Structure 1
Amino acid sequence: MRGISVIAKRVEDWRRRVFPERQLFLRSEGRVRFITITSYVQMGLASAGVALAIWGLTTSYVFLTRDSVLASKERALNALSADYDALNRDYTRLERDVEQRALKLQERQQFLESLIDANEPARRNHNRTVQAEAATENETVTATDRTSAPEMTTGSAETDQARPISYLNSATSHSMTVEPGHTDRREAIVALLRETDQRQRHVASLLHDSVSGELKRIDEAITATRLDTATLFDKWSGAAQAVGGPYMPEAGFPAIFDMEDGSLFQDLFDNWQRREAAGEILQSFPVTEPAADYYISSRFGRRRDPMRRTWTNHPGLDMAGWPGTAILAAAPGRVVHAGWYGPYGNMVELDHDNGFRTRYGHMKRVRVKVGDSVADGQRVGDMGRTGRTTGTHLHFEVWYDGQVRDPLPFLRAAEDVREIQRRYQSADG
């Protein structure tokens, strides 16, 4: 208690010393008044002044530092906005990348589907042919074998062209949806696009093998004529006006995931075009026997001239027969000459398009005129002995790309060529 009283006394002494009681004297109209200001009032006013000063300093500090705080916040907001814009650009770019890949895959899908549709008639016709052949063979088997024959026939009808169809259908129906809760939706979509790409490549590979096999079979069928599909394609007269066929994207088949992943589809399209061209060109092949009844009296190539008895080159095939024997067009075409032609006598020349022409000489009678269109096997004249000849026969020539060819290999290839012709005619129908 003694310590407290000492402190109180010191505070009281400090108050009286710092804030002594003061009086203000006021004089007005000869009268004097005074106002007494106690120490407590002075302390109150001093406290108020100190509080006001502190408030002023605080507000001044806040005002002075506000710009820097606002500037700092603005910089932070700008940084966040820039990050958002960058993320938005990245997302847009990735979204566009996924969309472009999906569009390219869709164009590939349309190409494969149209190619399969274009091959479907030929595939069905081939299946019917195989089934008919299998049924004919089954006529010779035992009763026990006949029981299992339907299963064997069904299996043998499957071709390289049939397998891609069901596989591509499964690829087409494959769901491209992604679960909403997936951690990386874009990654999941890209994975599905890659899966679709692999499916399409597999189908394209099967179709490529099938088309390449067809080209190989055509080459084998005409190998004796010393021609091949590559040579025929160069002279394909239908290349400029051909319409229809599989869908071909305007920009071709650009890469989607790998730099070379479009080459397979481009090769498939090129081979398909070659195969279709070869099928059309084979319609111009002179494989129909040009005489209804004949025997070969002189072959193509080096021989002794029947009149001068000297060695010479014979540019055709002589087919001897009875006078008036029907002379037939070896392929559909257009008559470009009909009448007398020097040593050929009465001669008909047909243009079959795609670089092929045929000549029929020494005829007794010409039954067509220039400009006529003739069908395969149509009668164009009668066998005779006009012109430079020693007897009744047909002088038959085959020309391709301006050069005369041996007709016999064309006639010998007739069976294989006609089989291919029937398949393509069925596909066109």
Structure 2
Amino acid sequence: MKQSDQAVVFGKRKEPHTIIIARGSEIRHFTVRPWMAAFAGSAFAALAIGYLLATSYLVLRDDLIGAATARQARMQQAYEDRISALRSQVDRITSRQLLDQQLMETKVSELIERQSQLTKRHGRLGPLLDRAEAVVNGAKPAEGSAPAKPETRVELPSPAADTQLAYAAVGSAKNPFALWSTRNSAAQADSSADHADKLFVTLNQSLRTIESEQLARIDSLAENAYQTADVISDALESAGLPVDADFGKADVGGPLIAVDNPSMFDTKVKELDEALDKLDKVKKEAQRLPLANPAPGRSISSTFGVRRDPLLGTPALHSGMDFRAPMGSDARATAAGIVVKAGWNGGYGRMVEVDHGSGFSTRYAHLSRIDVREGQKIATGDTIGEVGTSGRSTGPHLHYEVRRNGEAVDPLRFLKLGKKVGQYL
């Protein structure tokens, strides 16, 4: 009773599943455990899933392969498009670099040509400037005249230096791919080209400055030459001694204004050459006049004109001027010329007469010694003898005369003129 009551209270007891197989007189039975059922179900499910997957792969394989192939084709097309874009960019950069190279080479050629022109100009200016410095050397403006402009020294750069600098500015333009390969940026290539352009602008400005300085120096020298020639001419004319009545007296004139800029340099050089010719001619004419002092540093004891004769005490014409100087002092020629007399000449005592041309001559009298001979050529400042008291004289001194066309003129006028223009001669 108790067992039946317990079965009612707690339910039926679960018995394991048993599989019975009967074959004739043989009877077999298998007890199916839960884990065995689970294993069998799992195996069946795995087989089913595998079968479904295999079937799906076989069915969808073509679609998957086509999708992968299409994806690869799209990726390849994208890469090819990217490569084409890069090639186009390289071509553009290459073309630009080639154009920049040609432009820069043209600029370099222009710079070298300008440098060559400057060098040729310097070669032409060399002798002309040497001549100008020789003609104008030491010249100072007289009082009241306009001051001369300071000369400008021009130092030309060497062609090799300019060429190296210019090609340094070109830089990698010699290699079209250099900028792209090293920087891989068109913007940086533009920056390099701009830098090269700035260098070319600087070089052009430098060469233009040199050209301007050359022209300024030529103008300064020409102006100085004209001013000096005018000062000498005006001084001589004011003293009644015109150098050349026809020189520089043409009926036309005006400032020189060049019309053709490329020929500006040749025009300026021609103007300077004409100015130097004028100055050289005026100086040569003036140097023929007896403007120097025959006894530098000595005082004047008697002037030109009527005076009381030192021996007789009566009024008499003194045809020259006397310089007080000790015995044996040098008597110097006041201008270049040819000795026409050298010996005793009455009251002059030992006398030297020098012919300076253009009707001018000078006499040096009362010498104690004569150091030149007739027919001898002498230059300004040469010693022609020594001061003495020979002839009609009361003591050691130098009697000096200036004659024009044989007539005695006041030497003091020439001495004053010599002090005024001597600094230009």
Q: Is the TM-score greater than 0.5?
A: no
TM-score of the superposed pair, with normalisation by structure 2: 0.42
TM-score of the superposed pair, with normalisation by structure 1: 0.41
Which has the larger Rg? Answer: 2
